Amino acid sequence: MSKPAPLIGITCEVLRNRQDPSGYNLLCDHRYAAVVRRAGAHPVLLPFSLSPPILRRYLEGIDGLVIIGGDDVDPKLYGEAPRRRTRVIFAKRAAFETWLYREGRKRALPIFGICYGMQLINVLEGGTLHQHLYPRKKNRKVNHRGGGRNFHRVRLVEGTRLRRLLTVARASVAAEHHQAVKRLGRGFIAAARAEDGTIEAIEHPEIPELLAVQWHPERRPASFPTRRLFRRFVLTCARYRDR
């Protein structure tokens, strides 16, 4: 009998409910679940909770964690005040993902941070962020903010795990962000950069179960980088399940 597919938890965006000011909506782009399923795992959405029993149950039940995109990491976490263009993410979502990340790291749980997810990981590991990148008219090499179909090229850094995984020197990726890594977290290195030098992926030499990219691989599900990234992540989750 074959083993069951790994179960991968995916966090959700949290938005205020305009009809009910005391409530909120949980949202998740269906493409996150689709690429996880396509890579051979079962996706499960994780509604935020700050209840210790529920949090522990989440970690006991999943074999991997995807922290999706969203608004901006609170600059207070890296010693800065929010600037005019900074849109601080829903605080309870940030607290939820912070707990999952820190406790998951203690368990060596495979974790994949995407866009805001990568930025949160970098900040939790002692790094900082550029709160706002220059608009395109001042930086014509790369349009980071773009939109749903904005693509640009990244250079995979020689000698990194990411470069070995993707087997290419450059790749075209889908991106939409106005912040980026400024100072790397402790022990982390840049694994990919845009043509203007912006860090587009990070990794830690001693944490092989961690993936973190600034771009949105789920928006190009059939692309070679997306297929390689998620297949490797699912295989890592399967090994975690079988420990």
Backbone angles phi, psi at 29, to 5 degrees: -55, 125
**Cα separation values, 174 from 29, 187, 200, 242, Å:** 14, 27, 11, 33
Distance between CA atoms of residues 127 and 78, nearest Å: 7
Closest of 215, 235, 238 to residue 225, by C-alpha: 215
Distance between CA atoms of residues 200 and 152, nearest Å: 11
Report yes or no: 240 and 109 within 8 Å, Cβ to Cβ: yes
Report yes or no: 236 and 65 within 8 Å, Cβ to Cβ: no
Catalytic residues: 115, 216, 218
Backbone angles phi, psi at 224, to 5 degrees: -60, -45
> What contacts 54, CB < 8 A, 6 or more positions away?
none
* Positive or negative: CA dihedral 73, 78, 82, 83: negative
